């Protein structure tokens, strides 16, 4: 029986791979020899670890669980449109009132965004007290990050359309000599936004005493009036 099988395999080898003439002792060894002679090079998979088929490999590389995990950790990095600087063409200077203590007067102002787009700003405005006639008065405003009303560190601000950034002036009513000499009545204020050179002006109804020196806060988000004031 084995001899019949051997002869059948040899005849098949002669047709499939004519150059194969190596004698073999068993059908299994002959079959392996024939495959090797014909150019086969694939090693059999280890016992208990079947080689994945093309379909199984494709399924493994397209595992829905791994795909979901990958997509869930993907972050969009779409660029954010640049926000323009707050300049006088976008702003209106607003007077928000005043209150005082012995020898000082706190004055509150804001720069309101009157445009239809946000703008950004940072730092201190330039300020000048004005007489009722609009003439500039002597103004020595010292920049500060802490005044009698609290801490005022500079910060980057984005002002939305219709929104405001406020600042305050704490006027010293004793003047530099401590006598009140040289004081005047301020009927308005002129201000320049931190990133601009154009001026903004606002009236101070009824006027306020102004003696030439004050402290100036940076622009603050919203209003510079402390809560409860």
Task: Encode pLDDT of 190-218 as tens digits.
Answer: 999 999 999 999 999 999 999 999 999 99
Sorted by sequence, the CB contacts under 8 Å of residue 28 that are 6+ apart come out as none
Strands 146-147 and 150-151: what pairing? Answer: antiparallel
CATH, residue 194: 2.60.40.10
| Nearest to 165, CA basis, from 106, 48, 86 | 86
Residue pair 189/127 in contact by the 8 Å Cβ criterion? yes
Quick: pLDDT tens for 5-63: 455 544 544 554 444 444 444 444 444 444 344 444 444 444 444 434 333 333 333 44
Strands 213-216, 140-143: pairing is parallel
Backbone angles phi, psi at 14, to 5 degrees: -65, -35
| Domain identity same for 104 and 200 | yes
pLDDT of residue 7: 53
Q: Are 11 and 93 contained in the same domain?
A: no
Query: Which residues, 6+ apart, have CB-to-CB distance to 198 below 8 Å?
Result: 87, 88, 89, 192
Q: Determine the angle formed by the axes of helices 2-16 and 27-37, rounding to 10 degrees.
A: 10
Whether residue 225 has pLDDT greater than 60 = yes
Question: Both 33 and 128 in a single domain?
Answer: no
- Tokens in use for 110? 């804001």
> Would the pLDDT of 101 be above 90?
no
Segments forming the whole domain that contains residue 143: 88-221
pTM for the model: 0.64
State whether 34 and 94 are in the same domain.
no
Please state the domain count of the chain.
2
């Amino acid at each position: 029986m084995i001899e019949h099988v051997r002869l059948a395999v040899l005849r098949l080898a002669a047709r499939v791979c004519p150059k194969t003439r190596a004698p073999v002792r068993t059908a299994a060894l002959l079959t392996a020899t024939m495959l090797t002679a014909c150019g086969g090079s694939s090693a059999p998979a280890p016992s208990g670890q079947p080689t994945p088929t093309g379909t199984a490999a494709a399924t493994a590389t397209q595992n829905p669980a791994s795909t979901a995990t990958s997509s869930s950790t993907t972050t969009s990095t779409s660029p954010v449109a640049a926000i323009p600087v707050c300049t006088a063409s976008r702003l209106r200077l607003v007077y928000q009132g005043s209150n005082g203590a012995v020898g000082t007067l706190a004055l509150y102002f804001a720069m309101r965004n009157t445009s239809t787009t946000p703008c950004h700003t940072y730092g201190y405005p330039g300020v000048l007290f004005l007489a009722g006639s609009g003439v500039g008065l002597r103004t020595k405003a010292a920049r500060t990050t802490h005044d009698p009303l609290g801490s005022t560190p500079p910060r980057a601000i984005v002002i939305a359309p219709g929104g405001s950034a406020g600042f305050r002036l704490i006027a010293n009513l004793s003047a530099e000599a401590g006598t009140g000499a040289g004081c005047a009545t301020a009927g308005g204020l002129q201000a320049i936004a931190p990133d601009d050179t154009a001026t903004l002006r606002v009236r101070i109804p009824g006027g306020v005493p102004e003696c030439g020196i004050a402290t100036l806060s940076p622009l603050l988000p919203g209003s510079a009036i402390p809560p409860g004031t």
